[in-house]
Structure 1
Amino acid sequence: MLFDIIFIRHGETEFNREWRMQGRQDSPLTAEGRAQVLALGRTMAAHLNAIDSWFISPLGRVRETSQILRDCFERESGAIALPQEEVHDRLVEIHCGDFEGRTQQEIDADMLTRIRKSPAMRYPGGENMLEVVDRAREFLDHWKTLIPTPFAGEHRTVVISHGNFIRAMMAAICDLPPEAGIRALLHNAAVCRFIARDQDYFFRMVNWNDRSHTHGGNPFGPV
């Protein structure tokens, strides 16, 4: 028995490049962001022989990332029938409230530092990381309902989301304190992979912030 969940952060966006707070706002992928995702899609198509479920955040930058990845499978791996894409509201990025759309230079630096160091500190008019960790746990609870009991075999899930959400998920899925998530670095189009070998869902982290696909590597090797 093997449960394999692959979390992917969206490719670089215009706001990312400008160091602008994005949150629930949106901006398109840059040319570099599309290239990052294309490299990942080709690697996925070459090395993943089955995907059982596919979840995405509703925001446009994730939808664009997902479409590039799925197009790669259609072009380069016709043997795999991809599952239907399921949009899940709990996968959305942290709400940065009044800071959204502003560059980091336009925001009070001391306040931003306090928010980033404390999971209980809330963005003005937005969320804190504790709430995002709760959303991550709710998504996991939903995902577990899709698995029949008893289950034998392998189940692989792809989840495309956002930097802060995936950091929160790391704390949720590994039963770590929320502080663990805010200390983790996560780049655009990076892969984070977790596996469990029984229906107690005791997940272990296999990859974090893996960008080996950008230089010919494979984040999806056997575990």
Structure 2
Amino acid sequence: MTDTTILLIRHGETAWNAVRRLQGHIDIPLNAQGERQAMALGRALAAEALDAVVSSDLQRAMQTAQAVAAHHAGLSLQTDAQLRERAYGVFEGMLYQDIQDEYPADFQLWQARDIDAVMPHGERLAESFRHFYQRVIGALQGVAARHPGQTVAVVAHGGVLECAYRAARGMQLDSPRDFQVKNASINRFTVDHGKLALTSWGEVDHLVLSAMDDVI
């Protein structure tokens, strides 16, 4: 079987990203900066030979993915709820500082990377990092299985990109995150028999000021 190539992309910036408010499954749209990032991303990928565009079903990812699909006639946007960000329970909608102040014990477990810790449930049920990781890798393997030998743009969330990076690098789930996950970045993987390999990480040349100026 020929490898599937996945261009894994984090959605553009939202107002909550800018102030470090945790989103999780709350459906927040792109802000003006995120819209500009999405436009620049779409233009940067216009010459890529894409066979499909797949997105999380949350609007910040879908808006970003639509900017990519717009440059590829005949490609309709596919959505997959399994590509959503991690569910953070009661933490969702809170500023990081407020989480630390109001839920110090749970915050400490989260920051200590206890991969089986589950935050207090809120309007939505929380999930452990281990469960989230298994969900994400299964979703990416599913994308590859549905598109063998093809090139697919997948637009998702920071946590999703982190899981993919860890899988491709063989990193322990509880090890510190020593890599950046940037909004609207392009990150290239191949998938062979369900195994992810990383070929390029953190492409953001399309977001330099000169490139962004051209899409304002």
Which stretch has the larger CA shift, 55-64 or 134-143? 134-143
**1:213 positional shift:** 1.3
Counterpart Cα distance in 2 of 1:144 and 1:189: 21
Gaps of 5+ in 2: 212-216
Question: 1:26 and 1:187, CA in 2 relative to 1: closer, same or farther beyond 3 A?
Answer: same
2:41 and 2:67 in contact (8 A); partners too: no
AA at the equivalent of 2:165: M
Partner SS for 2:8: strand
**1:182 positional shift:** 4.1
1:159 equivalent in structure 2: 154
2:137 equivalent in structure 1: 137
2:182 equivalent in structure 1: 187
Q: Which of 74, 88, 105 matches 2:80? A: 88
The reply to whether residue 98 of structure 1 matches residue 90 of structure 2 is yes
Question: 1:213 and 1:186, CA in 2 relative to 1: closer, same or farther beyond 3 A?
Answer: same
Question: 1:112 and 1:42, CA in 2 relative to 1: closer, same or farther beyond 3 A?
Answer: same
Alignment of 1:1-223 (within 5 A): 1-45=2-46, 47-48=47-48, 50-71=49-70, 73=71, 80-108=72-100, 110=104, 111-118=106-113, 119-125=115-121, 126-147=126-147, 154-179=149-174, 182-196=177-191, 199-200=192-193, 202-215=195-208
Gaps of 5+ in 1: 74-79, 149-153, 218-223
Partner SS for 1:171: helix
Partner SS for 2:57: coil
TM-score, normalised to structure 2, is 0.82
Counterpart Cα distance in 1 of 2:177 and 2:42: 27
TM-score, normalised to structure 1, is 0.79
Question: 1:203 and 1:96, CA in 2 relative to 1: closer, same or farther beyond 3 A?
Answer: closer
Counterpart Cα distance in 2 of 1:178 and 1:170: 11
**1:19 positional shift:** 1.4
Counterpart Cα distance in 1 of 2:39 and 2:180: 22
Q: CA RMSD for the aligned pairs?
A: 2.4
For residues 5-30 of structure 1, what are the alpha-carbon distances to aligned partners after superposition, in whole Å with 9 as ceiling and x for unaligned? 11110110011112111101122211
